[in-house]
Amino acid sequence: MTFHDYSITFLRLSLLCFLSPAASSADYIPSTLDGPFVPVTVPLDTSLRGKAIDLADTDPRVRRHVTGFEPEQISLSLSSDYDSIWVSWITGEFQIGKNVKPLDPTSIDSIVQFGTLRHSLSHEAKGTSLVYSQLYPFDGLLNYTSGIIHHVRITGLKPSTVYYYRCGDPSRHAMSKIHHFRTMPVSSPSSYPSRIAVVGDLGLTYNTTDTVSHLLQNSPDLVLLIGDVSYANLYLTNGTSSDCYSCSFSDTPIHETYQPRWDYWGRFMETLTSKVPLMVVEGNHEIELQAENKTFEAYKSRFAFPFKESGSSSKLYYSFNAGGIHFVMLGAYIAFEKPGEQYEWLKKDLAKFDRSVTPWLVVSWHPPWYSTYTAHYREAECMKEAMEELLYSYGTDIVFNGHVHAYERTNRVYNYELDPCGPVYIVVGDGGNREKMAIEHADEPGKCPDPLTTPDPAMGGEFCGWNFTTTGKFCWDQQPEYSALRESSFGHGILEVKNETWALWTWYRNQDSSSKVGDQIYIVREPDRCHGYNRLVDHC
């Protein structure tokens, strides 16, 4: 290395130290600049419950507490930028039985009254409503039809501003109580949401209640839910359930669901979702096949997505901005191959992505590409083969995944090799659902799965895992060097972007106090080292 090279390196590190929020901290927090880190496996705490118990339908937290057509299950989601937001809610009661008659969504208006003063909600926005059904053309199975689901997009909002609102139909004297939300900051390199909560595979168990309670104590401005929401598909239509559907109900003519679990979930979550925007991406538990081969009906109906605002033709993938962060939410259970529709949309979205406005690029989808647990090991290899190069070439900073019911954070990695310009991949499939916790690792003796058993039929069922380890094996013989930390515990994470190059990631375990940290690291962008645009190939 020449003196000139040393000078450039010194100046770069000096600048990073100047920008570092950790530079003056008494308690040193490591950063990705200190990496790559030696892989660590936190020993399993056998006192933790490897399973979780669902909240019963008699639990007061999931019961219906409104009457008539008063709104319930109120939730917020972001539009494409700070100046608009979606408000969603449900009126009327669901029906379940052999013969169900859908409610008329035109029978009640979808109105949000809002303003910056609690006592003066001087603005009004109108939206649309719908009803969905989950139908099973088999004897003995029960059908379901939802209450009336409302979606209203409020526009013309100011950044970083608290708005008060209530929703419903004033002509029917069916309005909610007054709630409030804070809009996202304007998109710029100097403004960010204070705290972004990240959680996956949530479900509705007693562990879920711990996760959400801890999450609320961290006062997030935004929540990312990385797939697997209500786990209604662990139930038969008569309400009978199991931790493992295929183990207990292998002879059912179709994979059944118990759709009221969605309503229970919406009621329980309203304390959070009525004041903090929730951005969701679908998981495998949202597929929910029904009559006429329809899928994802509950998921696509109950949540509002900024898919049109972001140029997508599908609710299963979209993008949005939150301050100086550009988020991309990808669908793993819809065609992802190139040059398919989702892939082409992703190319266009990334081509429009402007680092001078949103320096950070954060991408999420449900099944991980980088996980060392035997559960779902290399299951999403075909998606990785199709999209990894594109995401790398645009300098993706952080990737969030779920699906594996444990926590894992990688070193910066690309194509299974350490790469200082690769993303940090974080698996947070530890929200608390009732399925078993992932505890076994593919690098343990005798735990490597048969490669041909790893493809997921829900993702096409094709085998793409030809990229073996350097020793020619499908699994590593020890924790791979790309895996920085892994632990089998329930919990959630908080992302705090400090400036255009430094972000603090903190993971909290449910078994700890809300102030105790399970994992913490500064993720540092190095734009002078990793230029971020089309590093590999011309995608045109």
Q: What angle separates helix 260-273 from helix 206-217, to the nearest 10 degrees?
A: 20
Which region holds residue 432: left if phi is over 0, alpha if psi is between -120 and 50, else beta?
left
Asked if residue 109 lies in contact with residue 166, where contact means CB atoms within 8 angstroms, the answer is no
How far apart (Å, rounded) are the C-alpha atoms in residues 336 and 355? 25
In sequence order, the β-bridge partners of residue 485 are 40, 409
- CA 530, distance to chain mean position in Å, is 26
326 is catalytic: no
Q: State which H helix or E strand residue 28 sits in.
A: none
What sign does the CA torsion over 88, 94, 98, 100 have? negative
Question: What are the helix (H) ranges across 453-539?
Answer: none
Pair 389, 332: CB distance under 8 Å = no
Give, for 344, the enclosing helix (H) or strand (E). helix 341-352
**HSE (CB half, 13 Å, CA atoms) of 151?**
15
What CA–CA distance (Å, rounded) separates 204 from 130? Answer: 25
How many degrees, rounded to 5, is the angle at CA 161 between CA 156 and CA 166?
A: 70
CA angle, 435 then 437 then 439, to 5°: 145
For residue 381, give both structure tokens.
């290899």
C-alpha dist (Å) from residue 24 to 14, 316, 331: 14, 43, 41
Q: Which of 150, 214, 376, 441 is catalytic?
A: 376
* CA distance to 199, 498, 539, per residue, from 348 (Å): 28, 28, 10
Q: Are 148 and 102 in contact (CB under 8 A)?
A: no
**Helix 381-393, helix 341-352: angle, nearest 10:** 20
**Beta-carbon neighbour count of residue 240 at 10 Å?**
12
Q: Rounded CA gap, 106 and 509, in Å?
A: 45
d(CA 74, CA 278): 11
Catalytic residues: 376
